[in-house]
Structure 1
Amino acid sequence: MLRKNVIRRTLAAAAVLAVTAGCTAQAAVSDRPGDPKAATSASAASVAEATGTPSGAGEATPSKRPGEKPSPSATTAPEVLMASGSKSEKVRELQARLAQIGWFDDTPTGTYGPVTVASVKGFQGKRGLPATGDTDTVTWQKLLGMTKKPTSDELKGKTVNKPAAKLDARCMMGRVLCISKTTRTLSWVVDGTVRSTMDVRFGSQYTPTREGSFTVFQKSRDHVSTIYHTSMPYAMFFSGGQAVHYSSDFAARGYNGASHGCVNVRDKGAISSLFAQVHNGDKVVIYW
């Protein structure tokens, strides 16, 4: 009787070992034939069985505990809705909305070009967003919350709400062409009162428009550049060959182009009126 009990206990123990070995082998099976990790995973699985530790601990990222915030790498990046090269009515709306808050001062075209990229970057940077120049879902929602649906005139560029330029202190006395590079505007100021304001464009980084305080020393109604052989109507020279004048290129291309150092005006009617009012000796102040 005693011997039978010993045999039974021995057979039961063998059965337990066989079942355990079978579970371990199943856990170690790889879905890739000849996987070199199979041998080591069998050992890991058996330890896991014995200790209750998940198999592969220390190799895979642990599952998130309840209430634990996901790591930054686990968060989903915002979807890009519009970017350089995009062409659509949604891009036109983007440009018109940026214009409402002073970040786009060109005519909405529906084409996502360098001017739009620069405008979006400025808008993003001002609000602590990654300044990528792409309009992603976060940027778009932020813009929607700060603007209203553009009107037909705004979509056509007929109504642009540009921020007023902060006048330099040197512009507050006398007759001054007060030119801000920050807002890209020229304000005609007489004794501290702004008489008119118009859009202007400056030179490129290779032919920059000089900054400082100057005076108008020559006016030329139908001037033609002797260097570039281009028309410079209503030219008012203030520093060497640099002048304030009308630019048909600015009128056609907007801020996609640049001058050779002059201050370009794109509104022909506005510069014509200004030319009639400005005298030689009037001050010109160019500042950021």
Structure 2
Amino acid sequence: MRRPKQGTATTTARRLGVLLGAVGLAAPLTVAIGGTAHATPACTTRTGPHQEDVEKFLGRPADGRQSPADCRAIQGFQTQHGITPNIGYAGPVTWGVMQQEITKRDPNAAGKCPVNKGRIACVDLTRQISWIQDGKSLKFGPVPVRTGRDGYETRTGAKKVYWRSIDHWSTLYKVRMPYAQFFDGGQAFHAIEGSVWSPPGSHGCVNMRTGDAKKYWSMLGNGDDVFVYGRKPGT
């Protein structure tokens, strides 16, 4: 069998490349995810139940009515955050993800934690999160926490850190409480070995992941303010 001449093979490859390029120009826009190409779905014209809130989040005119520009902006957010179907519909899933983003940006957006005290550690029992602010400046967090279970609720109100014990041992519950910072009787911020998401909750302390409790230890001191508010679900 005779091998084709080099020039003939090169010419054939070039022709094939031109043909594939022309086909690519005529094909619909696709997005490659995990090595597989998926066609970008068409935008919906439907107005979602969270339309106005979603528009405000994206900096769009908040008229509560879907427009082609609104849909493209919503679709871009959905694609970026892996929300499917990403058709630009302002539904509960999309708005839920946006609310998580709002919490990250400003956990005190509702103004429930007093931030006119300088350095303060805020604890929101309802959302099971905590963060540290200095005036209006967010210094750390928000981070997930596990607060008191039913019957052992973490007490609400204005407190102050009054005692710190870096490698504390609870004589009452016979457990380690690393990076313990007490702010109300026996209730304290401290690290736990298990998951902060595990039910039913603590015996009143604000349980934290080790890295978060260590950061709180480095940022807070005796006399610093703590404010606890809200209500833990199930209590």
What is aligned with 1:271?
Answer: 213
Asked if 1 retains the 8 angstrom alpha-carbon contact of 2:164 and 2:182, the reply is yes
Task: Tell me how far apart the structure 2 counterparts of residues 223 and 162 of structure 1 sit (CA, whole Å).
Answer: 35
Asked if 2 retains the 8 angstrom alpha-carbon contact of 1:224 and 1:232, the reply is yes
Change (3 A) 1:271 1:211: same
What is the DSSP-based 3-state SS (H/G/I as helix, E as strand, rest coil) of the residue aligned with 1:205?
coil
Task: Tell me how far apart the structure 2 counterparts of residues 162 and 224 of structure 1 sit (CA, whole Å).
Answer: 37
Aligned 1:65-76 pairs, distance under 5 A? none
- Residue 193 of structure 1 pairs with residue 137 of structure 2: yes
Residue 144 of structure 1, CA deviation? 9.8
Structure with greater Cα Rg:
1
* Aligned partner letter, 2:123: I
- Residue 250 of structure 1 pairs with residue 192 of structure 2: no
What is the DSSP-based 3-state SS (H/G/I as helix, E as strand, rest coil) of the residue aligned with 1:243?
strand
Change (3 A) 1:229 1:258: same
Task: Tell me how far apart the structure 1 counterparts of residues 145 and 186 of structure 2 sit (CA, whole Å).
Answer: 17
Asked if 1 retains the 8 angstrom alpha-carbon contact of 2:183 and 2:226, the reply is yes
Name the stretch that deviates more: 165-174 or 237-246.
165-174
Residue 271 of structure 1, CA deviation? 1.7
What is the DSSP-based 3-state SS (H/G/I as helix, E as strand, rest coil) of the residue aligned with 2:194?
helix
**Runs of 4+ residues over 4 Å off in structure 1:** none
What is aligned with 2:162?
Answer: 217
Asked if 1 retains the 8 angstrom alpha-carbon contact of 2:113 and 2:122, the reply is no
Q: Deviations over 1:108-144 (max 9, x none)?
A: xxxxxxxxxxxxxxxxxxxxxxxxxxxxxxxxxxx99
Give the unaligned 5+ runs of structure 1. 1-142, 149-153, 155-159
Task: Tell me how far apart the structure 1 counterparts of residues 194 and 222 of structure 2 sit (CA, whole Å).
Answer: 26
Task: Tell me how far apart the structure 2 counterparts of residues 195 and 261 of structure 1 sit (CA, whole Å).
Answer: 25
* Aligned partner letter, 1:147: V
Residue 194 of structure 1, CA deviation? 1.0
More helix by share: 1
Task: Tell me how far apart the structure 2 counterparts of residues 144 and 192 of structure 1 sit (CA, whole Å).
Answer: 31
- Residue 184 of structure 1 pairs with residue 128 of structure 2: yes
What is the DSSP-based 3-state SS (H/G/I as helix, E as strand, rest coil) of the residue aligned with 1:170?
coil
Task: Tell me how far apart the structure 2 counterparts of residues 262 and 162 of structure 1 sit (CA, whole Å).
Answer: 27
Percent identity reads: 32
* Aligned partner letter, 1:277: M
More strand by share: 2
Change (3 A) 1:196 1:205: same
What is aligned with 2:93?
Answer: 147
Asked if 2 retains the 8 angstrom alpha-carbon contact of 1:246 and 1:265, the reply is yes
Q: How many residues align?
A: 133
* Aligned partner letter, 1:210: R
Give the unaligned 5+ runs of structure 2. 1-88, 231-235
Q: Deviations over 1:37-59 (max 9, x none)?
A: xxxxxxxxxxxxxxxxxxxxxxx
Task: Tell me how far apart the structure 1 counterparts of residues 90 and 214 of structure 2 sit (CA, whole Å).
Answer: 38
Residue 163 of structure 1, CA deviation? 4.7
Q: Deviations over 1:173-197 (max 9, x none)?
A: 2110111112211110112211111
Task: Tell me how far apart the structure 1 counterparts of residues 198 and 137 of structure 2 sit (CA, whole Å).
Answer: 28
What is the DSSP-based 3-state SS (H/G/I as helix, E as strand, rest coil) of the residue aligned with 2:174?
coil
Change (3 A) 1:181 1:163: farther
Q: Which has the higher contact order (CA 8 A, sep 6+)?
A: 2
Change (3 A) 1:224 1:174: same
- Residue 206 of structure 1 pairs with residue 151 of structure 2: yes
Task: Tell me how far apart the structure 2 counterparts of residues 201 and 285 of structure 1 sit (CA, whole Å).
Answer: 16
Change (3 A) 1:173 1:192: farther
> What do you get for the CA RMSD once the two structures are aligned?
2.4
Residue 162 of structure 1, CA deviation? 5.8
